[in-house]
Structure 1
Amino acid sequence: MSATTEAAAPEKPQTPHRAQRILREILESSTLVVVMAIVAAMLIGAILIAFADEDVRAASAYFFSRPGDTLSAIWEAVSGAYIAMFQGAIFNSNVDSFAGQIRPFTQTLTQATPLIFAGLGLGIGFRAGMFNIGAQGQIIIGATLGGWVGFAWHLPVGLHLLVAVLGCALGGAIWGFIPGILKAKTGAHEVIVTIMLNYVALNLLSYLLSLEAFQREGQDNPISPTVDANAQYPLLLGSSFPLHWGFVLALACAGGVWWLMERSTLGFEFRAVGANARAARTAGMNVAKGTVLVMVVAGALAGLAGSAQVLGTEKNLTLDVAGSIGFDAITVALLGRSRPLGTVMAAILFGGLKASGPTLQVQAGLPVDIVFVIQATIVLFIAAPPLVRSMFRLPAPAHEKEVAA
């Protein structure tokens, strides 16, 4: 073929990366598929609860002679476990006072608050076509900087909290900027960079907590001084409930993210880059700048998740300040289809599962690991929409039917 022919040959259309196609399929799953994924996870959890119950195992020894005993034991075990989870996460009717009855729900919202922040940040990245797996590290750095401002500085009421919250957001934004600029300038894959930065953040916090400036006086354990009262989120419903004003800020951020992604020019550019970076570049958009900004905004939101921990719930820095929030937020963002409202609802669901663990253990006598299994199963089904559709005989999306045709 001659050089002229080669030059005249039309350019092959760029096909999406396989990982991006998978992510897009997950994000485009219908609400029904998401709901049925949760139902399927609950059914698998019911099976595990039945196997873990001693009465069920005892009755199953003579199943063929008296099957009704086994079925009755299974019903009591499963219903008792899920009732215990409901009472531990939503409403406890066993308590006399109204405050005690609704306390579980406030605990659920408290657990959901950092998941909302981090899930919103990850959702922005997912919709922009970026696999940000670094929320854990961004939470740690945000909590570290904001926590240091909280216990090392002494500012007036109101100002101290504001500066500490901004410190958390700044710390997360800085930690998000690093993989963003590396991807934009060198093409480094954000998955690898963010995973590595998670470990860097954890070890950096471990080092800082060994320094005198970060260690609580009289303590040999890696724990910081308590954040000043002026830098703590005020309690939203009084001292009887753990819920703080960080939850209100999380809801405000959800509204802000909705406006950013659905109504602003910058959000349109984020979505355009995620849909087709090459087409966005052809249209005159600065893809490199958009990549950096996506990671900075996502990091800032993850840093605010750190503020919910260090300024609201924990009130000090430890190596476990982030828990597993950064990784749970990945599931929250996917379950919520990376939309603000869906993310808030998914975070409340996961917050409820986490809050229900102690009640499940005390009332039903079952291990807390059952909750973790349900969470992991939700992840499995959300990551495989075709599996859920085949299990419940749900119709395939229109675009899949067109491809099949």
Structure 2
Amino acid sequence: MDAMPKWAEVILIPLISLILAFFLSGLVILAIGENPIRALQIMISGALGSTYGWGYTLYYATNFIFTGLAVAVAFQARLFNIGGEGQAALGGLGVALICLYIPFPHWTMALPAAILGAAIFGAFWAMIPGYLQARLGVHVVITTIMFNFIGASILNYLLVDILRPPTSMNPATARFPDATNLPSLHDVLSVVGIPFSRAAPANISFFIAILACIVIWVLIWHTRLGYQIRAFGQSESAAKYAGISPEKIIMVTMLISGGLAGMMAINNVMGEAERLVQNAVEGAGFIGIAVALMGRSHPIGVFLAAILFGFLYQGGAELSLETSIPSDLIVVIQALVILFTGALDDMVRAPLKSMFLMFRKPEATPKAPKPAE
């Protein structure tokens, strides 16, 4: 029997870690002369108190869902894909090429093609590090982090010298045709009579992100491939003994992971900016690592953690506008959340496990059978 019930593992540990992170953040805010209670109220009001705030919270959360799922899938095979930044950037290139150079009469036709293009470009950028690990033993942590910088350099060259319109000085592509513009949440919810801010950037890709969570849940826990990925992650030697090819699992896992990271571009490139710009990813690839850690690499946990980080982003922006708290402090709060939910996870887990062991009823010892007379 496990020392700690599953609900404590999934809910209680992240919740306590989050409370500790916010408590320390409150002390930091208090130290700079601001009221932490008022700061929390501003963050909640700014991120959740209006449809405008919700629109930005869900927009950021959509980015983090895709990058969080990308990291979570790799984690299942004990692969540390920290190349989400580069994979999402290359995914944006795939979206831009499809939207700019293929004439679509309507967004319903452009969207599936853009999803495919984003996934293919992101998967390709993850495939190379995957191949290097599978065939040559070069660790994906090294190659994926290097490929972030390579991808940024390639994108910078293309935006400055190839894709930039001749009449523009801005390193960005031309705006996508109107036929490729995705419906916003305002457009979607107004159909069913729900009012929502027209100015918020959240769009239909939020529902695609939810669908991605469902697909990954089915894939990892209800398919043969998912079982092989998890088995390889638990024990490579046991997986080999069972006939599972390590090279195949590494390659397939990295392709899926990179494809998910690339799909983030549906939200920020096609849905919000409606063109490809420099630094469109804005750090979401690295936030995906924290989201996957906090979400315990499970799609439901990733979804909830992404909403939390979306809240931190939008609430933090409002906080820096309405108080003297610098925007850099929001990065500190995010870092504390990452620290407690990731690196200091055992600091919360160990006392909880001891507590559950203390209150658990001892298992009854079976009586020995009486000897035959």
TM over 0.5: yes
Residue 22 of structure 2: aligned partner = 42
* Contact 2:53–2:200, Cα closer than 8 Å, also in 1: no
Partner of 1:4: none
Q: Matched residues in 2 for 1:196 and 1:397: separation?
A: 43
Q: Distance in 1 between matches of 2:355 and 2:92?
A: 41
Separation in structure 2 between the aligned mates of residue 397 and residue 153 of structure 1, nearest angstrom: 61
- Code of the residue aligned with 2:130 in structure 1: it is G
Instruction: Work out whether residues 91 and 120 of structure 2, in 8 Å CA contact, stay in contact via their aligned partners in 1.
Output: yes
Match in the other structure for 1:78: 36
**CA distance, structure 1, for counterparts of residue 118 and residue 320 of structure 2:** 34
CA distance in 2, matches of 1:190, 1:261: 21
Once residues 257 and 265 of structure 2 are traced to their aligned partners in structure 1, the CA distance between those partners, rounded to angstroms, is 13
Q: 2:128 aligns with which of 178, 186, 195?
A: 178
CA RMSD of aligned residues (A): 1.8
Question: Does the residue aligned with 1:83 lie in a helix, a strand or coil?
Answer: helix
CA distance in 2, matches of 1:361, 1:168: 33
1:302-343 CA-to-partner distances (Å, cap 9, x unmatched) read 000122111112222222111100000000000000000000
The separation in 1 between residues aligned to 2:271 and 2:262, in whole angstroms, is 13
1:209 partner SS: helix
Matches within 5 A, 1:250-289: 250-289=209-248
Alignment partner, residue 384 of structure 1: 344
Moved over 6 A (4+): none
Q: Secondary structure at the match of 1:237?
A: helix
Q: Tell me the equivalent position of 2:4.
A: none
Q: Given that residues 18 and 337 in structure 2 are in contact (C-alpha distance below 8 angstroms), is that contact kept between their aligned partners in structure 1?
A: yes
User: Which of 125, 138, 142 is equivalent to 2:87?
Assistant: 138
Segments of structure 1 that go 5 or more residues without pairing to the other structure are 1-27, 57-76, 92-100, 400-405
AA of the residue aligned to 1:356: G
Residue 368 of structure 1 is matched in structure 2 by 327
Structure 2 counterparts to residues 343-358 of structure 1, below 5 A? 343-358=302-317
Give the alignment's TM-score, normalised by structure 2.
0.87
Which residue is 1:65 aligned to? none
- Whole-Å Cα distance in 1 between the matches of residues 339 and 312 of structure 2? 16
Q: Aligned-pair distance for 1:389?
A: 4.2
Shift of 1:248: 0.2
Report the Cα distance in structure 2 between the residues aligned to 1:138 and 1:326, rounded to whole angstroms: 8
1:52 aligns with 2:52: no
CA distance in 1 between counterparts of 2:269 and 2:313 reads 19
Deviations along 1:330-383, whole A, 9 cap, x unmatched?
000000000000000000000111011231122233212222111101111122
Q: Residues of 1 paired with 2:10 and 2:118: CA distance?
A: 35
Q: 1:398 Cα deviation (Å)?
A: 8.9
Give the direction of change, closer, same or farther, for the CA distance of 1:325–1:397 in structure 2 (3 Å limit): farther
Distance 1:381 1:328 in 2: 14
Residues 264 and 86 of structure 1: CA distance in aligned 2, closer, same or farther (over 3 Å): same
Is the contact made by 2:120 and 2:259 (CA closer than 8 Å) also made in structure 1? yes
Tell me the distance in 2 between the aligned counterparts of 1:397 and 1:126: 29
Q: How does 1:1-400 map to 2 (within 5 A)?
A: 30-53=10-33, 77-91=35-49, 101-157=50-106, 158-212=108-162, 214-238=163-187, 239-382=198-341, 383-389=343-349, 393-396=351-354
Query: How many residues end up aligned between the 2 structures?
Result: 338
Query: Sequence identity of aligned pairs in percent?
Result: 32
TM superposition shift of 1:177: 1.0
When residues 313 and 180 of structure 1 are mapped into structure 2, their CA distance, relative to the original with a 3 A threshold, is same
Q: Residue type of the partner of 2:136?
A: T
Tell me the secondary structure at the aligned position of residue 224 of structure 1.
Answer: coil
Letter of the 1:257 counterpart: I
Letter in 2 for 1:373: V
Q: Amino acid of the residue matched to residue 384 of structure 1?
A: L
Structure 2, unmatched stretches of 5+, are 1-7, 188-197, 358-373
Whichever residue aligns with residue 69 of structure 2, its letter is L
* CA 112–196 in structure 1, closer or farther in 2 if over 3 Å, else same: same
- Please state whether the residue corresponding to 1:143 is helix, strand or coil: helix
Residue-by-residue CA offset, 1:159-200 (whole Å, 9 max, x unaligned)? 222212211111001111111111111111010010111111
CA contact (8 A) 1:232 1:315 kept: yes
1:251 CA drift (Å): 0.1
What SS does the aligned partner of 2:269 have? helix
Q: Which has the higher contact order (CA 8 A, sep 6+)?
A: 2
* Conserved 8 A contact 1:80-1:364: no
